[in-house]
Amino acid sequence: MGKATGFMDYARQDKKAQAPKERLAHFREFYTPLSKEEQECQGARCMSCGVPFCQAGQMIMGMASGCPLHNLVPEWNDLIYHGNWEEAYYRLKKTNNFPEFTSRVCPALCEAACTCSLHGDAVSTKANEYGIIENAYKKGYAAAKPVKVRTGKKVAVVGSGPSGLAAADMLNRRGHSVTVFEREDKAGGLLRYGIPNMKLEKQIIDRKIAVMEEEGITFVMNCNVGKDKKAAELLKTFDRIILCCGASNPRDIKAPGRDAKGIYFAVDFLKSTTKALWNHNMKLVDGAYISAKDKHVIVIGGGDTGNDCVGTSMRHGAKSVLQIEMMPKSPDTRAENNPWPEWPRICKTDYGQQEAAAVFGKDPRVYETTVKEFVKDKNGNICKAVLVKLAPKKDEKSGRMMMTEIPGSEYTVPADLVLIAAGFLGSEEYVAKAFQVERNARTNVMTPEGKYQTSADRVFAAGDMHRGQSLVVWAIREGREAAREVDISLMGYTNLNVQ
């Protein structure tokens, strides 16, 4: 694949990011794509390595190595090296319903597992994926291709996040009539309201939704199934139901003063900004969103969502930003017990943290720390937070290492706005109750191992609602696999290829 000596002949190039202080002036995507010529050189770097770990998508030491969608990475890298961009698009689409999303928001598990990264720099696969899909829209390859023959079967998909969209797309291709129900005003789920514009501009979602509608999928917005529409009605109207409602229960922080005004879940904060930008032509209007302007902001949680809160707060014009992480700082390079092709458990400084460091002169993160108390002013507003340092300690009963408080390590910091980005606990109870599906101890919808059929007849589940909080690429895979299982249950066989 690629050029036999390409990985030696060409250095890695990637999309160039706008300088941190410059991009703070807007909420748009801030990467400049590579030119076609540059990307063809990057395709040449994809060596004929024999075992393409990039597309393996296997679990190693509890973490995914390579693409869970099994994208045919060496094949489409080779195709763009030879200038065959159209065929590269068709190879990419065989395994990935939404490269316009993954090429923007995926953490590039393919690159972490790239053989070139063992002793050098990985192939810039994510940038090449971006180039392939954007070229396909430009040239018309990604235009709608309506289904010519229908099966007469009807499927309802509840939730329009990446798993729901993937399931709908696959089943529509098969010829089933698909209706997607979404409780929000616009489709996309976490793609729209959980991921900021800087990472995924919302017209990119609308562009794809328009294609899916032209191909025959029906979208019903502002319809909260389980509340606005009864489960019994869907079961009567549709042959099969797929629940793709996400892991919508945010994990809370239980500390004295939690009831103070000015403490929000991250998803509510991010959603308010996205809606305000959409409703006011990409401009923030006072009073239309949860504002961090001129405030001391504390973000609780060190993951991608926490970073998104940092980046959004910086664009609001926060006075200061402090990001709290319970766990110790990861090493800057791979540890000896974390060899390739395992996912690299290293410290990642993302765009929001880069921006905070550029403005305030230091990384906003503090490690091995948690909130011990929220302090309210006389009006009930958050005004301070008492933090405490943590240290790992083995629990005598379980034998597990636990982060425990260090006595006397408390200190107080100013806080006008607190954003809780501590992850999600699982699916929301009312949807599971409405369809009478069983959930496990983590409140994820239960199915047999490797399957998507729930305990309720004709009801399936996929995505974060089924596996717990995870990546967009895993949600797409689950949607694809659930669609295949639904197709078999409807037709007795399937021709849907999901791997």
Distances (CA, A) of 242 to 59, 384, 485: 26, 45, 11
pLDDT value at residue 119: 86
pLDDT at 48 over 80: no
Instruction: Please tell me the least confidently modeled range out of 28-32, 117-121, 290-294, 367-371.
Output: 117-121
pLDDT value at residue 395: 83
Tokens representing 22?
Answer: 């410059």
Query: Among the CATH numbers 3.30.43.10, 3.50.50.60, 3.40.50.300, 3.30.479.30, which is that of 263-420?
Result: 3.50.50.60
pLDDT value at residue 1: 65
How far is Cα 399 from Cα 80, in angstroms, rounded to an integer? 52
Instruction: Please tell me the least confidently modeled range out of 160-169, 288-297, 366-375, 397-406.
Output: 397-406
- Residue 309: pLDDT band by 50, 70, 90 thresholds? very high
Q: What are phi and psi of 243, to 5 degrees?
A: -90, 120
In this predicted model, what pLDDT tens digit does every residue of 50-92 receive, in sequence order? 889 999 999 998 888 999 999 999 999 999 999 999 999 999 9
Mean pLDDT of 389-403: 88
Residues 6+ apart with CB under 8 A from 62: none
The amino acid occupying position 83 is G
Rg (CA), the chain: 23
Mean pLDDT of 27-40: 95
Distances (CA, A) of 486 to 156, 315, 358, 498: 11, 44, 50, 13
Residues 6+ apart with CB under 8 A from 85: 36, 79, 132, 135, 136, 139
In this predicted model, what pLDDT tens digit does every residue of 343-363 receive, in sequence order? 999 999 999 999 999 999 999
pLDDT value at residue 499: 67
How far is Cα 399 from Cα 391, in angstroms, rounded to an integer? 15
How far is Cα 89 from Cα 137, in angstroms, rounded to an integer? 10
Tokens representing 304?
Answer: 């991608």
Mean pLDDT of 117-132: 94
- Better-scored residue on pLDDT, 282 or 30: 30
The residue ranges of every structural domain in the chain are 6-139, 154-248+425-491, 263-420
- Residue 118: pLDDT band by 50, 70, 90 thresholds? confident
Chain length of the chain = 499
Using the Cα atoms of residue 324, residue 329, residue 334 and residue 338 in order, give the sign of their dihedral.
negative
In this predicted model, what pLDDT tens digit does every residue of 5-25 receive, in sequence order? 889 899 999 999 999 999 999
CA dihedral of 184, 441, 56, 69, whole degrees rounded to 10? -20
Instruction: Please tell me the least confidently modeled range out of 276-280, 315-319, 378-382, 451-455.
Output: 276-280
How far is Cα 80 from Cα 490, in angstroms, rounded to an integer? 39
In this predicted model, what pLDDT tens digit does every residue of 285-302 receive, in sequence order? 889 999 999 999 999 999
Contact, 163 vs 463, CB < 8 A?
yes
How far is Cα 20 from Cα 311, in angstroms, rounded to an integer? 10
pLDDT value at residue 4: 84
Collapsing DSSP to helix, strand or coil, 232 comes out as helix
pLDDT value at residue 389: 98
Contact, 416 vs 374, CB < 8 A?
no
How far is Cα 153 from Cα 491, in angstroms, rounded to an integer? 9
pLDDT value at residue 427: 87
Q: What are phi and psi of 187, to 5 degrees?
A: -75, 155
pLDDT value at residue 44: 95
Q: What is the DSSP letter of 414?
A: E
For the chain, first and last CA: distance in Å? 20
Tokens representing 263?
Answer: 């403490």
Q: Is this structure's pTM higher than 0.85?
A: yes
Q: Which CATH architecture has domain 154-248+425-491?
A: 3-Layer(bba) Sandwich (3.50)
pLDDT value at residue 281: 83
In this predicted model, what pLDDT tens digit does every residue of 407-462 receive, in sequence order? 999 999 999 999 999 999 888 899 999 999 999 988 999 999 999 999 999 999 99
Residues 6+ apart with CB under 8 A from 333: 346
- Residue 472: pLDDT band by 50, 70, 90 thresholds? very high
Q: What is the DSSP letter of 40?
A: H
- Residue 29: pLDDT band by 50, 70, 90 thresholds? very high
CA dihedral of 307, 311, 312, 318, whole degrees rounded to 10? 110
Output the average pLDDT for the chain.
95
Angle at Cα 302 formed by Cα 300 and Cα 303, nearest 5°? Answer: 120
Write out the CATH class of domain 6-139.
mainly alpha
Tokens representing 474?
Answer: 């895993």
Contact, 111 vs 125, CB < 8 A?
yes
Judge if 154-248+425-491 and 263-420 fold alike in CATH terms: yes
Q: Is 163 exposed, middle or buried (0-12, 13-18, 19+ CB in 10 A)?
A: buried
